[in-house]
């Protein structure tokens, strides 16, 4: 699989990044700890990803309350495989626990992540969110100090808006930005443009907008059991309107004419954006990796990508 460098760091990632946010939970939400993929299911997903050439795994200390990192660490130890590891910190590890990007907390959290992963260093360490209670200078200098110590190879930010990213860029240079971005979520255009201008990698997550771009949600039908809209509808509730379904129906027709499914075409659209370095996909089953792989073999021209973007404006 094609690989891309993260900014000017020398760290390379596979064009598809395996998102491990559902291992042991559903993201960082404590109320869903224990409700994601169990160890056996997570191992099957990691095995399938590695076999397909996906060599970069993305996680966070708070995913599943630490279970995601633990499962990855155990898989690496048993399989004798070392993927590039990207992990993150900011969110609390459980109800009532602390959060944030203070120097002491970042250092403590990285130590615990390294223990769970069973490694001496991670390839990429991300601020999972912006922390308004801690000076950006403190956070950036802490990350840069961790590079000097050899505990991380590069650092980046996640869920930062353009103003927050600008504050970080005034002091240092994150290697990458990992934000939500898709055909149905283009609020990040300004951040993406800033990344392109400053030579920063951009690795979007949620490329299928919580499943909306797969066609699984139907007009006037309840959300399928176990889907994002059934479990955590909040981030995507605004999409539940007639205009969205009309656009999705037209999108599905275009995908069919091209001989692919909607999910493949949606990820192909992301790969067609020149500022996208790699795409983070979070499969619940090994077969869910197929659209991302298919997208790499289905390149779109700028005109084709623009036509698809116009459906959802």
| CA 48 and chain centroid, separation | 18
Buried b (16+ CB within 10 A) or exposed e, 108-117: ebbeebbebb
Beta-sheet pairing, 16-19 with 56-58: parallel
Any alpha helices (H) in the chain, and if so which ranges? Answer: 39-51, 67-79, 103-117, 136-148, 162-169, 189-198, 228-231, 242-258, 262-271, 290-296, 302-311
Buried b (16+ CB within 10 A) or exposed e, 282-292: bbeebebbbbb
- In the residue annotation, 63 being an active-site residue is answered as yes
Q: How far is CA 44 from CA 50, 66, 274, in A?
A: 10, 19, 32
DSSP tag of 52: T
Which one from 63, 125, 155, 202 is the annotated catalytic residue? 63
Question: Which residues are known catalytic residues?
Answer: 63
């Amino acid at each position: 699989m094609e690989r891309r460098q993260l900014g000017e760091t020398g760290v390379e990632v596979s064009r598809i990044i395996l998102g491990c946010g559902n291992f042991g939970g559903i993201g960082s939400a404590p109320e869903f700890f224990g409700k994601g993929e169990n160890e056996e299911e997570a191992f099957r997903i990691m095995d399938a990803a590695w076999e397909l050439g996906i060599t970069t795994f993305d996680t966070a200390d708070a995913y599943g309350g630490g279970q995601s990192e633990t499962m990855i660490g155990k898989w690496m130890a048993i399989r004798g495989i070392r993927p590039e590891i990207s992990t993150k910190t900011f969110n609390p590890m459980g109800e009532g626990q602390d959060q944030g990007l203070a120097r002491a907390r970042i250092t403590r959290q990285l130590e615990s992540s390294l223990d769970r992963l069973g490694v001496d260093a991670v390839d990429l360490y991300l601020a999972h969110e912006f922390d308004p209670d801690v000076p950006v200078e403190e956070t950036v200098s802490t990350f840069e100090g961790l590079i000097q110590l050899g505990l991380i190879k590069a650092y980046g930010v996640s869920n930062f808006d353009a103003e927050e990213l600008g504050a970080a860029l005034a002091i240092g240079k994150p290697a990458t930005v990992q934000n939500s971005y898709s055909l149905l979520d283009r609020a990040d255009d300004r951040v993406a443009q800033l990344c392109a201008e400053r030579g920063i990698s951009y690795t979007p997550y949620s490329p299928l907008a919580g499943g909306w771009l797969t066609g699984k949600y139907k007009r006037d039908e309840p959300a399928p059991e176990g889907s994002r809209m059934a479990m955590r509808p909040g981030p995507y509730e605004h999409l539940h309107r007639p205009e969205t379904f009309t656009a999705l129906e037209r999108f599905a027709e275009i995908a069919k004419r091209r001989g692919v499914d909607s999910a493949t075409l949606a990820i192909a659209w992301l790969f067609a954006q020149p500022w996208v370095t790699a795409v983070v996909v979070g499969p619940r089953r090994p077969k869910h990796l197929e659209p991302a792989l298919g997208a790499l073999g289905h390149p779109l021209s700028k005109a084709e990508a623009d036509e698809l973007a116009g459906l959802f404006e």
